[in-house]
Amino acid sequence: MLINWLCVVYEALDRKNDAKILLENNIKLHPAYIYNITGLAKLELEEGNFMKVKELFKNTWNIKELFPDRNVFHIGEVISFLQVTTEYFHQSGNEDEAKRYLAMLKEVHPKKESPIIEELEKKIAIRQ
């Protein structure tokens, strides 16, 4: 968990490469920790590295397929996964899939008014 906070600090200080290195190393140590994967995927998306995101998500856009040994996920993990997945499809130009994943995100998110959801809605609406 401390590594997550350090990554947040690195991002706030615009030391994204340091955050990426930390996340990549932590994925090697803890490959089933979803926040490492979604955190690195988010940084890769910011750089337009769609192939790296597909690799991190093992070319599946289903959290259960990504972690087949798990049957239960924390709501925060699901939100993080859906947020990155929505952003991936939006940035790659697949607006129908972006809308589909945004709908799932809205369905599971505990807050009906969320800055995450509002930002994604604006991005998708702008492109339409």
Q: How many CB atoms lie within 10 A of CB 37?
A: 25
d(C-alpha 79, C-alpha 114), whole Å? 11
Average pLDDT value for the chain: 92
d(C-alpha 83, C-alpha 48), whole Å? 16
If pLDDT is split at 50, 70 and 90, which confidence band does 51 have?
Answer: very high
Could you tell me the maximum CA-CA distance found in the chain, to the nearest angstrom?
Answer: 41
pTM (whole model) above 0.85: yes
Mean pLDDT on 115-128? 86
pLDDT higher than threshold 80 for residue 127: no
If pLDDT is split at 50, 70 and 90, which confidence band does 1 have?
Answer: low
Q: What percent of the chain has pLDDT over 90?
A: 77
Split into its structural domains, the chain has a count of 1
Mean pLDDT on 59-69? 94
Range of the domain at 82: 2-127
Q: For residue 80, what is the domain's CATH number?
A: 1.25.40.10
Unique residue bearing structure tokens 């925060």: 76
* Tokens at 106, concatenated: 């809205």
pLDDT given for residue 46 in this prediction: 93
Which residues, other chains included, contact 104 with Cβ-Cβ below 8 Å and sequence gap of 6+?
82
